[in-house]
Amino acid sequence: MPSKNVAIVTCSTRSPRLNPTITQYVYDVLAHNPTFPTQLNNTEDTDPRHITLSILDLAKQNLPLYDETVIPASLPASDPTAHYTKEHAKAWSAVVRQYDGFIFVTPQYNWSIPASLKNALDYLFHEWKGKPAGIVSYGSRGGVKAADHLKDILTGLRMRVVGTAPGLVIKHTGLPVGALSEEEERVDVDEKDLEGWKDAGMEGMMRNLGMELVCELDRE
């Protein structure tokens, strides 16, 4: 299998955010998994199924509330990018087309996903279609309802959603309130939550998710 690019997507755009910290946690679990075919620390890559992991932050994409005048599904499947009417849509299309698969790391907002994620998904169609996707959710009860809603949306976009979907329970980590410094915009996970995830087998579930994604990429 040729080298494949997989994006681990930070789906919340609020400030302060726990999301970048959890996205990094997912990245670290997968990148340090010896059974996952990714190259780390410039080591020699001998696995023909080489995966390149990247973090993709929706907060850095500068997408306004959906305003594209064309219907994404009606654009040419082979090269939709040039046919959008908005420059930010063209830029977002070009970014997403770089990746062969995605792992969406999302919080749960009011039993669903953040509007920022739904907005980013709605801008495109062919750029998502047919690609494998995994879901990692988090929240006070693990974000299961958000994961279920997201699975429905991704299925509607004709993505191939893998079965394993870790839900990280947040019990001890809190967000700062009031005026924030740049350092406080990214929130660290409380050690008790990290231990809880390990005890609940979340790291093993993430590894399973990663290997299911690799199997889907192998089919291409």
Mean pLDDT for 88-112 is 98
Backbone Cα Rg of the chain: 17
**pLDDT confidence of residue 88:** 98
pLDDT category at 1 given cuts 50, 70, 90 is low
Whether residue 40 has pLDDT greater than 60: no
Cα→Cα distances 24→7, 31, 35, 86, 113, Å: 12, 10, 19, 31, 19
**pLDDT confidence of residue 41:** 44
Tell me how many degrees the CA angle 159-113-129 measures, rounded to the nearest 5: 15
Whether residue 219 has pLDDT greater than 90: no
Whether residue 178 has pLDDT greater than 70: no
**pLDDT confidence of residue 42:** 46
**pLDDT confidence of residue 61:** 96
In order of their start, the domains of the chain are 4-218 (3.40.50.360)
pLDDT category at 220 given cuts 50, 70, 90 is confident
Mean pLDDT for 70-91 is 98
CB count within 10 Å of CB 183 equals 7
pTM score, whole prediction: 0.93
Mean pLDDT for 201-213 is 96
Place of tokens 């599904």: 73
DSSP string, 188-218: PPPHHHHHHHHHTTHHHHHHHHHHHHHHHHH
Q: Looking at 8-17, 36-45, 47-56, which range is the least confident one?
A: 36-45
pLDDT category at 22 given cuts 50, 70, 90 is very high
Residues 113-165: pLDDT tens digits? 999 999 999 999 999 999 999 999 999 999 999 999 999 999 999 999 999 99
pLDDT category at 182 given cuts 50, 70, 90 is low
Whether residue 55 has pLDDT greater than 70: yes
Helix or strand holding residue 27 (H, E): helix 19-31
DSSP string, 35-74: TS-B--TT-----TT-EEEEEEEGGGS-PPSS--SS-GGG
